[in-house]
């Protein structure tokens, strides 16, 4: 089980210090910091900012005691200093840096200052984790949320593409940051570590986008039990694990800040709303995801955690459909699935014609639905179609 200092104490500190704008927080356990005895020792460390505010909390391993002690001490500290501390030293445990943005956290922990842009966007300084964020819908979602000022955690099985995505976002020189953490969403321990890495790096979690998903089509004759189990593990169980471990941190936050809403958002599919011929392993997992969404929504609303699914139509421009070697367009062309189709363009036109809007779903269409869900306080347990009219609710 992950250290409760990470799942409970750090998110609480973020909320307790977010008296004006929402803060970000970083937990640093470098050995020189764990060994610090008192404020004087800490100020002697070269990178600690001159004149910064420091609060020291005595060593204890019990998170409830730490939190009780902290709540009283923080309130006294901020009343007498008319501000919040820049650092909280949990003696023998580590140092917590507190700032208005992720870049300022870097500086508080030793990075050299540079000129960066502060983005005043729709999700400014929120901490948003995107599973499967290395490419496809997830990559595009991470990119657009970062552009709107979010601190984005890209969590993916593919370390190379995920790290490259985070580096590319950070090269925009903004005060909000992207951070990569590896994950296999179908493994409980891995998901727990992903959430812990997020909290250590940014201090909490405002929204998790459960987007990682796989598709292996096939009818009953072709589908093996192993492939069915793999798809269920990633698409269905993975969503449960993300909600389970994310909600621990979200609950810790809502306990320490009144009316602080957070979001669990599943990227579902139009196949979660209507059966999909010879694609039941995918459709079944996605239908099940909506059952989870409705049930989590009832359980978590008292904690101000909204839970919604977004059900996109086909993302024709993404790798699943457009990859020149493995994409569905090429596969369907080779398999002769579209009668009379000679080129990829013919296959694409066939599928586009099934959408009243005449085109496939794009990342921006999904991100607009994400903004709606995050900005709305009075909506939970929904499955929101973003299908250009291909699926209509009844
Ligand atoms: N592409 C579409 O047409 C479409 C339409 C509707 C819904 N969706 C849904 O959108 C989501 C993303 O789909 P996409 O088409 O962008 O997929 P994609 O294959 O382009 O990207 C998926 C990402 O998830 C990662 N991933 C796969 N298994 C993982 C695991 N076990 N743990 C962590 N990461 C894992 C991959 O490495 C990859 O980076 C899926 O949930 C999918 O069902 C896709």
Mean pLDDT of the 332-346 span: 91
CA 138–ligand 1 middle distance (angstroms): 7
Q: Are residues 295 and 179 in the same domain?
A: yes
Ligand 1 atom closest to Cα of residue 210: 41
Tell me if 137 CB under 6 Å of ligand 1.
Answer: yes
CB 270 within 8 A of CB 311: yes
Q: Are residues 92 and 132 in the same domain?
A: no
pLDDT the model gives residue 196: 98
Structure token digits, residue 220: 């009953």
Tell me if 135 CB under 6 Å of ligand 1.
Answer: yes
Q: Atom 30 of ligand 1 has which residue's CA nearest to it?
A: 184
pLDDT band at 61 (very low <50, low <70, confident <90, very high): confident
Provide the mean pLDDT of the chain: 95
Mutate which of 129, 130, 132 to test ligand 1's pocket (most atoms within 8 Å of Cβ)?
132
Q: Atom 20 of ligand 1 has which residue's CA nearest to it?
A: 136
Q: Are residues 167 and 200 in the same domain?
A: yes
Among the three residues 264, 294, 313, which one is the final residue of a domain in this structure? 313
Q: Could you tell me the strand order of the sheet in which 178-182 lies?
A: 178-182, 151-156, 127-131, 207-210, 262-267, 305-312, 383-386
Q: Are residues 90 and 18 in the same domain?
A: yes
Tell me if 319 CB under 6 Å of ligand 1.
Answer: yes
Mean pLDDT of the 194-217 span: 97
Tell me if 74 CB under 6 Å of ligand 1.
Answer: no
pLDDT digits (tens, 9 = 90+) for 107-142: 999 999 999 999 999 999 999 999 999 999 999 999
Among the three residues 313, 337, 361, which one is the final residue of a domain in this structure? 313
Mean pLDDT of the 235-251 span: 98
CA 132–ligand 1 middle distance (angstroms): 6
Mean pLDDT of the 69-74 span: 92
CA 387–ligand 1 middle distance (angstroms): 17
Mutate which of 129, 138, 165, 310 to test ligand 1's pocket (most atoms within 8 Å of Cβ)?
138
Ligand 1 atom closest to Cα of residue 234: 31
More confident call, 59 vs 243: 243
pLDDT band at 204 (very low <50, low <70, confident <90, very high): very high
Task: Output the domain CATH number for residue 194.
Answer: 3.40.50.720
pLDDT digits (tens, 9 = 90+) for 250-296: 999 999 999 999 999 999 999 999 999 989 999 999 999 999 999 99
How many Å apart are CA 337 and CA 339, to the nearest integer? Answer: 6
Tell me if 311 CB under 6 Å of ligand 1.
Answer: no
- Three-state SS at 20: coil
pLDDT the model gives residue 362: 98
Q: Are residues 79 and 155 in the same domain?
A: no
Q: Are residues 301 and 156 in the same domain?
A: yes
Domain count, the chain: 2
Q: Is residue 337 part of a domain?
A: no
- In the chain, the percentage of residues whose pLDDT exceeds 90 is 89
- 3-state per-residue secondary structure call for 45-97: CCCCCCCCCEEEECCCCCHHHHHHHHHHHHHHHHHHHCCCCCEEEECCCEEEE
Tell me if 218 CB under 6 Å of ligand 1.
Answer: no
Tell me if 140 CB under 6 Å of ligand 1.
Answer: no
Q: Which has the minimum average pLDDT: 34-43, 241-250, 328-337?
A: 328-337
CB 187 within 8 A of CB 242: no
Q: Is residue 216 part of a domain?
A: yes
Q: Is residue 349 part of a domain?
A: no
Q: Are residues 83 and 136 in the same domain?
A: no
Mean pLDDT of the 84-94 span: 94
Which range of residues forms the domain containing residue 288?
127-313
pLDDT the model gives residue 1: 60
pLDDT band at 58 (very low <50, low <70, confident <90, very high): confident
Ligand 1 atom closest to Cα of residue 161: 39
Ligand 1 atom closest to Cα of residue 185: 32
Q: Is residue 328 part of a domain?
A: no
CA dist 206 → 12, 142, 296 (Å)? 13, 14, 16
Asked if pLDDT for residue 10 goes beyond 90, the answer is yes
Q: Are residues 190 and 248 in the same domain?
A: yes
pLDDT the model gives residue 2: 76
Tell me if 133 CB under 6 Å of ligand 1.
Answer: no
Q: Are residues 240 and 302 in the same domain?
A: yes
Q: Is residue 9 part of a domain?
A: yes
Mean pLDDT of the 360-369 span: 98
Q: Are residues 102 and 145 in the same domain?
A: no
CA 120–ligand 1 middle distance (angstroms): 29
Q: Is residue 345 part of a domain?
A: no
Structure token digits, residue 249: 């941190």
CA 235–ligand 1 middle distance (angstroms): 9
Q: Are residues 187 and 86 in the same domain?
A: no
Q: Are residues 171 and 305 in the same domain?
A: yes
CB 146 within 8 A of CB 369: no
Q: Is residue 21 part of a domain?
A: yes
How many Å apart are CA 322 and CA 84, to the nearest integer? Answer: 50
- Tell which residue, 251, 235, 257, has the closest CA to residue 309: 235
pLDDT the model gives residue 348: 95
pLDDT the model gives residue 146: 98
CA 178–ligand 1 middle distance (angstroms): 19
How many Å apart are CA 232 and CA 91, to the nearest integer? Answer: 44
Among the three residues 283, 313, 343, which one is the final residue of a domain in this structure? 313
- Three-state SS at 306: strand
How many Å apart are CA 10 and CA 12, to the nearest integer? Answer: 5
Q: Is residue 119 part of a domain?
A: no
């Amino acid at each position: 089980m992950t250290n409760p200092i990470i799942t409970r104490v750090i998110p609480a500190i973020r909320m307790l210090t977010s008296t004006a704008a929402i803060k970000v927080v970083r937990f640093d356990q470098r050995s020189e910091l764990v060994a610090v005895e008192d404020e004087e020792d800490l100020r002697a460390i070269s990178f600690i900012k001159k004149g910064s505010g420091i609060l020291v909390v005595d060593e204890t391993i019990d998170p409830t005691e730490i939190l009780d002690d902290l709540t009283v001490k923080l309130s006294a500290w901020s009343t007498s200093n008319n501000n919040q501390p820049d650092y909280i030293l949990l003696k023998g445990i580590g140092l917590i840096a507190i700032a208005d943005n992720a870049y300022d956290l870097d500086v508080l922990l030793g990075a050299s200052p540079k000129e960066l842009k502060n983005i005043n966007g729709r999700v400014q300084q929120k901490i948003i984790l995107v599973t499967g964020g290395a490419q496809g819908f997830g990559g595009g979602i991470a990119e657009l949320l970062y552009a709107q000022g979010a601190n984005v955690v890209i969590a993916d099985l593919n370390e190379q593409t995920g790290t490259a995505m985070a580096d590319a976002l950070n090269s925009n020189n903004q005060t909000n940051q992207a951070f990569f953490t590896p994950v296999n969403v179908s493994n409980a321990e891995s998901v727990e570590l992903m959430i812990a890495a997020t909290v250590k790096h940014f201090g909490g979690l405002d929204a998790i986008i459960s987007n990682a998903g796989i598709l292996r089509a096939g009818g009953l004759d072709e589908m093996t039990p192993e492939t069915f189990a793999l798809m269920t593990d990633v698409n269905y169980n993975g969503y449960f694990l993300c909600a389970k471990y994310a909600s621990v941190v979200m609950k810790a936050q809502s306990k320490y800040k009144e009316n602080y809403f957070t979001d669990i958002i599943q990227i579902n599919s139009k196949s979660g709303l209507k059966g999909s011929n010879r694609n039941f392993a995918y459709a079944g997992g996605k239908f099940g995801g909506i059952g989870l969404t409705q049930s989590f929504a009832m359980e978590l609303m008292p904690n101000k955690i909204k839970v919604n699914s977004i059900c996109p139509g086909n993302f024709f421009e993404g790798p699943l459909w457009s990859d020149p070697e493995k994409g569905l367009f090429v596969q369907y062309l080779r398999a002769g699935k579209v009668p009379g189709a000679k080129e990829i363009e013919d296959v694409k036109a066939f599928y586009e014609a099934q959408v009243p809007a005449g085109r496939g779903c794009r990342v921006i269409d999904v991100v607009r639905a994400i903004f709606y869900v995050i900005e709305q306080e009075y909506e939970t347990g929904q499955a929101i179609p973003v299908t250009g009219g291909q699926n209509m609710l009844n």
